[in-house]
Amino acid sequence: MGGRRFGALDGGQDSIKFAMLHHIGVVTPENRKRYAEICRHILLPKIYLRSIGTINECYRIWELKRPPEMES
């Protein structure tokens, strides 16, 4: 890591969006093993939220606001 991403704009920052996580976890579940293996090799701190219950608990503890598409 450490280098600039190809095609990145000057001053731009990469970010993780809910839609991207939804696509990885829900839309393309057949790729979960591949994504998990990629994630294991990334040398950044990470947490694994293995269920919707765990995700909900983290939202509550961290006082996060859900994206509009998830509010009911």
Segment (H or E) for 54 = helix 52-61
Q: What is the pLDDT of residues 11-59, one digit of tens each?
A: 776 677 778 777 877 788 788 888 888 888 988 888 888 888 888 898 8
Question: What is the distance between the alpha carbons of residues 24 and 17, in angstroms, rounded to a whole number?
Answer: 11
pLDDT reported for residue 2: 56
pLDDT reported for residue 1: 45
pLDDT reported for residue 61: 92
pLDDT reported for residue 70: 66
Coil, strand, or helix at residue 65? coil
Q: With beta carbons less than 8 A apart as the criterion, state whether 32 and 25 touch.
A: yes
Q: With beta carbons less than 8 A apart as the criterion, state whether 69 and 23 touch.
A: no
The pTM of the whole model exceeds 0.75: no
